[in-house]
Chain A
Amino acid sequence: QVQLVESGGGVVQPGGSLRLSCAASGFAFSRFGMHWVRQAPGKGLEWVAFIRYDGSSQYYADFVKGRFTVSRDNSRDILYLEMTRLRVDDTAIYHCAKDLMRGYTYGVDYWGQGTLVTVSS
């Protein structure tokens, strides 16, 4: 069965950095685009970033562009999110999620449980 397990969250000061990981299993990771989506406590869903199945393209939400970098290691089935210059409003649970279909982004069908990032002084 498909499993996505995030790690790397924690408490960090404003301006600090964190690297999130998402370990994937149960599907052909190298064939699917992957997303990061976040949700602040009590708030709605925010799409953060996407990386193509082969890592050749990445897209970002405007509010993270230039600060966050998404990458993947298809040899180890791991997705990453490098977060720098963190702000208080980046505080959220960060989920990785798998594209529904190979080659197209019509939606995401599996989500990890998420890792909590708290940015606070």
Chain B
Amino acid sequence: DIQMTQSPSTLSASVGDRITITCRASQSFSSSSWLAWYQQKPGKVPKLLIYKASTLESGVPSRFSGGASGSEFTLTISSLQPDDFATYYCQQYYSPPWTFGQGTKVEIK
């Protein structure tokens, strides 16, 4: 099974900051297409932000971007907004079981 390891587990940042969350897969994918990022706020269901590692879901602000290099994937928020304080999860769809990372909580500094 592919393990997905996110870092950091918690990130403290201020409005306007540029932040990057990393998700590392325990094995490389033949293509970066099989990675998605979700945002979850307390008491809410997750929201799809990015799929195919770097394709923005419809309606998601352009300050969100995704990248991939080998087995390492990144989610970057270029200028953190108040609405962005939440927990973020990566998930691989390369090979079942389709595992999530453990989550990264983005907190207000």
Chain A residues within an 8 Å CB radius of B93: 105-107
Chain B residues within an 8 Å CB radius of A112: 45
Task: Tell me whether B86 is interfacial, beta carbon within 8 Å.
Answer: no
The answer to whether A45 and B48 touch across the interface, beta carbons within 8 angstroms, is no
Q: Which of B10-49 contact A (CB under 8 A)?
A: 33-34, 36, 38, 40, 45-46, 48
Interface 1/0 per residue, A35-75 and B, CB below 8 Å: 10000000011110010000000011110000000000000
Among A100, A106, A109, A113, the one with the most B-chain Cβ atoms within 10 Å of its Cβ is A106
Interface 1/0 per residue, B56-96 and A, CB below 8 Å: 01000000000000000000000000000001010101001
Decide if the interface of chain B is mainly helix, strand, loop or mixed. Answer: loop
Q: What is the count of residue pairs linking A and B with beta-carbon distances less than 8 angstroms?
A: 58
Q: Which of A70-121 contact B (CB under 8 A)?
A: 95, 100, 105-109, 111-114
Per the bound structure, the CA–CA distance linking A50 and B1 in Å amounts to 16
Contact of A47 among B34, B40, B45, B97 (CB under 8 A): B97
Chain B residues within an 8 Å CB radius of A61: 97
Decide if the interface of chain A is mainly helix, strand, loop or mixed. Answer: strand
The answer to whether A62 and B100 touch across the interface, beta carbons within 8 angstroms, is no
Are A100 and B98 CB-contacts (below 8 A) given A45-B40, A106-B36?
no
The answer to whether A45 and B98 touch across the interface, beta carbons within 8 angstroms, is no
The answer to whether B102 and A44 touch across the interface, beta carbons within 8 angstroms, is yes
Can you list 29 residue pairs at the A/B interface with Cβ under 8 Å?
A35-B98, A44-B89, A44-B100, A44-B101, A45-B40, A45-B46, A45-B91, A47-B91, A47-B99, A47-B100, A50-B96, A50-B98, A60-B96, A60-B97, A62-B1, A100-B57, A105-B93, A105-B98, A106-B33, A106-B36, A107-B38, A107-B48, A107-B91, A109-B48, A109-B57, A111-B45, A112-B45, A113-B45, A114-B45
7 cross-chain pairs, A with B, having the tightest CB-CB distances, nearest first: A107-B36, A59-B96, A111-B45, A107-B51, A106-B51, A44-B103, A61-B97
Which residues of B does A touch, CB under 8 Å?
A: 1, 33-34, 36, 38, 40, 45-46, 48, 51-52, 57, 87, 89, 91, 93, 96-103
